[in-house]
Amino acid sequence: HNSTRRRKIVSLEKFQNMNKKAFITGATSGIGRASAQIFADNKIDLIICGRRSERLALLEKELNKKVNIKSLCFDVSDRNETMDAINSLPDNWKPIDFLINNAGNAHGLSLSQDANLDDWEKMLDINVKGVMYVTKALLPFMLERGKGHIVNISSIAGKEVYLKGNAYCASKHALSAFSDGLRLDLNGTGIKVSSINPGAVNTEFSEVRFKGDKTKAENVYEGFEPLVAEDIAELIYFIVSRPAHVTISDSTILPTAQASASLIHRKNG
């Protein structure tokens, strides 16, 4: 007989109203914000985190019509602030189903010999240590329940290095290694770990990288159709809505015009 086991296709609709909670860092802009929106549309309660309280308040107001929501204002790169913020959550909000470690950014794009050491330090503090602090604070509650899903937003810069990417690439390589390490350590606990590596996504990312220089930022996305935050949010939602026995461990998502970290096909370029 045929011993192949099969299952029904899980519709995304069925995932609604299951009393799930997601914790999203960097929720006030870009990929974090788009994720908060898609989660809210799918009735997943939210803990939205960010450094900017006005933006958090606006997002909370927008989404609290759809789901239960809490805001936490803190900087992931500050270890004490992070621990205090997470400890301040009411006990029933601490056991979360999904941790989306999205907060991260780039500071500067310069040759190593010209780069600013403060920029380098910030990238390591936010993109690597920030993820470690938040993960360490929330992991005990996942372990207690024997379930949970950690989704780390890395980058194509976590798989490849490019000219002037130095410390940013180092931070994302470290994050990718940390995700892989977590998956090994948590094997058998019921906790899933996923890593996502986006290529060029048109968010405030480049404006931050170029310290507010809008022209430089716009040039990054000139002559081709970049990804938008919603493209990544849909992938995040797809990954967290897989059945319990399925982990999408690592996925790279690029604009069709992009073939690698440093090859983008631009029109008239």
* Residues belonging to the active site: 168
Specify the stretch interacting with ligand 8X3 by CB under 6 A; choose among 24-32, 71-79, 151-159, 174-182.
Answer: 151-159
Cβ nearer to ligand 8X3, comparing 30 with 148: 30
The reply to whether 155 sits near ligand 8X3 by the rule CB under 6 A is: yes
Using Cβ positions, the residue closest to ligand 8X3 within the complex turns out to be: 155
DSSP 8-state class, residue 10: P
When binding is defined by CB under 6 A, the residue of 142, 156, 174, 193 that contacts ligand 8X3 is: 156
Residues between 206 and 265 that touch ligand 8X3 (CB under 6 A): 261
CA–CA gap between residue 155 and residue 198 (Å, rounded):
5
Cβ-contact 48, 22 below 8 angstroms: no
Q: What is the dihedral of CA 250, 199, 259, 192, to 10 degrees?
A: 10
CA–CA gap between residue 135 and residue 129 (Å, rounded):
10
Token pair listed for 172: 């994302």
Cβ-contact 144, 96 below 8 angstroms: no
Specify the stretch interacting with ligand 8X3 by CB under 6 A; choose among 44-52, 89-97, 114-122, 149-157.
Answer: 149-157
The reply to whether 182 sits near ligand 8X3 by the rule CB under 6 A is: no
CA–CA gap between residue 81 and residue 176 (Å, rounded):
24
CB of 124 to ligand 8X3, least distance (A): 15
Residue 76 CA to chain centroid, in angstroms?
Answer: 13
When binding is defined by CB under 6 A, the residue of 76, 157, 170, 182 that contacts ligand 8X3 is: 157
Nearest CA-CA partner of 112 in 104, 120, 102: 120
The reply to whether 56 sits near ligand 8X3 by the rule CB under 6 A is: no
Catalog residues that contact ligand 8X3 under the rule CB under 6 A.
155-157, 199-200, 205, 261
